[in-house]
Structure 1
Amino acid sequence: MKILVIGRNGMIGNGIFEYFSNKYEVHGTLKRFARDYPIKDHINIIENIDLKKIELIEEVINDLMPNVVINCSGIIKQKSVEYSNDDHIYLNGQVPHILLKNCQKKDIKLINFSTDCVFDGKKGSYSEEDTPNAIDVYGSSKAMGEISQDGCLTIRTSTIGLEIENKHGLIEWFLDQSGKSISGYDNAIYSGLTINELSRYLEHILINFPKLYGLYNMASEKISKYRLLSILSEKLRYCTIDIEKNTEFYCDRSLDGTLLNSKTGFKVRSWEKMLSDLALKIDERELLKN
């Protein structure tokens, strides 16, 4: 199986690229030169692919002719303020549709990622039947990019893990708080996956359900951000972060992943197991630094 990962430098893109490279022929695009990123190697890297010049990625697809294109590009919530509304609409909302048109011409499967942030977080346990109701441009633009038609599998999810560039996500922020006291939000409810678990689930789908198309939630068992960070801190070899329970803040963007689980038969592992794996990766990275 030949795979093209668009946005190899992001957390999801890097995680998927590294996971699948162990078994398949995987190519990945970068927005800038490879030397600008702290990546392990530059094998199968395609540099200087700016999606504002969509013809560049179309040329890459035409040249490679992959079996699967995995779109991990787009503006992330943590950097949303750095972009205009038009940038959001184009990169998050329009690019997935442009990619699908190109892939459909060549019978290439497109994997597209959406987010739990398409919802306002007031209700929780959102299903595929719930209408996105985000009140910010990030969530609204990601909802625009959700595709429910043949040729594309849109996975609505959230993920945590290590990053190689910007380090804006929950885990990198947490690790940067060494020696400090932080608030752990007990009423911030989460249903994402670690990037390794997401990659395992995606591989299961590509191998066993190659013709699965449409919009599906990919979710884990619900957990509070406080509990998540507490479990992780217990599993790390060395952690000096004090986590204080905070019950004032409320947000529940949890997704109901029942439909995708029933379609595929995949069972997402427990948070204990997912965070054990993540803690090992964190400890390994810390050892390499020293």
Structure 2
Amino acid sequence: MKKIFPASAANITIGIDVENTDALAGFLRDVRPDVILNCVGVVKQLASAEDPLVAIPINAILPHRLARLADLVGARLIHVSTDCVFTGRKGGYRESDAPDAEDLYGRSKLLGEVDYPNAVTLRTSIIGREIGSRNGLVEWFLSQSGSVRGYRRAIFSGLTTDELVRVIADRVLPNPDLRGVYHVSVDPISKFDLLGIVRDVYGVGIEIEPDDAVAIDRSLNSDRFRAATGYVPPSWPDLIRNMRRFDEESFSQVR
């Protein structure tokens, strides 16, 4: 991390075990942050996401521990949850819809959603470039050659990672009264169309074959968040162009 962000190396602390409550509490007492942004999670792409001994402590318990510790030091907690709290049978989910995840990952993330006076949970999904892995859609796609399948009935409404950063910085941090669960999304798009935009923006010669075998729609309705913050999402071509620009400006030296 310090090699990736050398200008911020003095402000980066590594080696803290988030499952060690005493160490975590001591660190927060020393730093006394104004805001804690919880990006820690066991993600769906990992096999350990279905191991209760791994997923539950991190995805379900840690966010509530952080909220308690944040309260003790007078900090606000921003916690990132997932659209995977829903099965994807319906789409267009609102905050008032009952989560119906059937797998351990989705259920553990649901249990970890925080609703306290000092905490806000952002339900969303993200895509973006990776460093040292190819677990996500974009990195997997850009590593391919020849042709891949693009699912026309798999619907996505998540953000690029750099757009989520902007949303938190420009829309969440300036709104201290936001608390509870909010859906954060952009306009829904099929995975087929999304890969087509990624291909065009990155200029790669990968053929995308339409496939209707997979049908899932975890798209989120974020009208409530947009009304509360004034957020207007960019178009998908703009999102992907911004993602490429951000990656080239920030991480080209480590690719």
Do they superpose with TM above 0.5?
A: yes
Distance 1:287 1:150, change over 3 A: closer
Count of matched residue pairs: 253
* Secondary structure, counterpart of 2:214 in structure 1: coil
Which residue of structure 2 aligns with residue 158 of structure 1?
125
Quote how far apart the aligned CAs of 1:242 are.
1.3
Local SS of the residue matching 2:77 = strand
Partner of 1:7: none
Partner of 1:58: 25
CA positional deviation for 1:285: 8.2
The answer to whether 1:222 aligns with 2:193 is no
Q: Which residue of structure 2 aligns with residue 28 of structure 1?
A: none
The question of 1:112 aligning with 2:88 is answered: no
Q: Is the 2:157–2:220 contact (alpha carbons within 8 Å) kept by the matching residues of 1?
A: yes
Q: Which residue pairs with 1:139 in the alignment? A: 106
Question: 148-157 or 198-207: which moved more?
Answer: 198-207
Indicate the percent of aligned positions where both proteins have the same amino acid: 36
2:206 counterpart residue number: 241
Letter in 1 for 2:240: L
Q: How has the CA–CA distance of structure 1 residues 53 and 197 changed in structure 2, closer, same or farther, with 3 Å as cutoff?
A: same
**Counterpart Cα distance in 2 of 1:231 and 1:286:** 21
Matching residue of 1:69: 36
Q: 1:172 Cα shift?
A: 0.9
Q: Is the 8 A contact 1:103 1:110 kept in 2?
A: yes
Gaps of 5+ in 2: none
> Could you report, residue by residue, the CA deviation over 1:235-260 in whole angstroms, capped at 9, with x for unpaired residues?
11x41211111112101011111100
Q: d(CA) in 2 for partners of 1:248 and 1:66?
A: 47
Deviation of 1:43 after TM superposition, in Å, equals: 3.5
Match among 221, 225, 235 for residue 256 of structure 1: 221
Aligned partners of 1:39 and 1:164 also within 8 Å: no
Distance (whole Å) between structure 1 residues aligned to residue 189 and residue 41 of structure 2: 26
**1:167 CA displacement:** 3.1
The one-letter amino acid paired with 1:242 is E
2:54 is matched by which residue type in structure 1?
Answer: D
Q: Once the 2 structures are TM-superposed, how far is the Cα of residue 82 of structure 1 from its aligned partner?
A: 6.5
Q: What is the SS of the residue equivalent to 1:244?
A: strand
Question: Deviations for 1:89-144, whole angstroms, at most 9, x for unmatched residues?
Answer: 11100000011111112220000010000111111111101111111110000000
Amino acid in structure 1 at the alignment position of 2:162: N
TM-score by length of 2: 0.92
TM-score of the pair, normalised by structure 1: 0.81
Q: What amino acid maps onto 2:34 in structure 1?
A: N
Any idea what SS the aligned residue of 2:45 has?
helix
Equivalent residue number for residue 6 of structure 1: none
1:183 aligned residue (146, 149, 163): 149
Residue number in structure 2 paired with 1:99: 66
SS in 2 for 1:250: strand
Contact conserved, 1:161 with 1:171, CA < 8 A, in 2? yes
CA contact (8 A) 1:151 1:213 kept: yes
Residue in 1 that maps onto 2:245: 280
* Superposition deviation, residue 210 in structure 1: 1.8
1:265 matches 2:225: no
Identify the residue that residue 93 of structure 2 maps to in structure 1: 126
Task: State the alpha-carbon separation in 1 of the partners of residues 166 and 26 from structure 2.
Answer: 29
CA contact (8 A) 1:155 1:215 kept: yes
Task: Return the letter of the residue paired with 1:167.
Answer: R
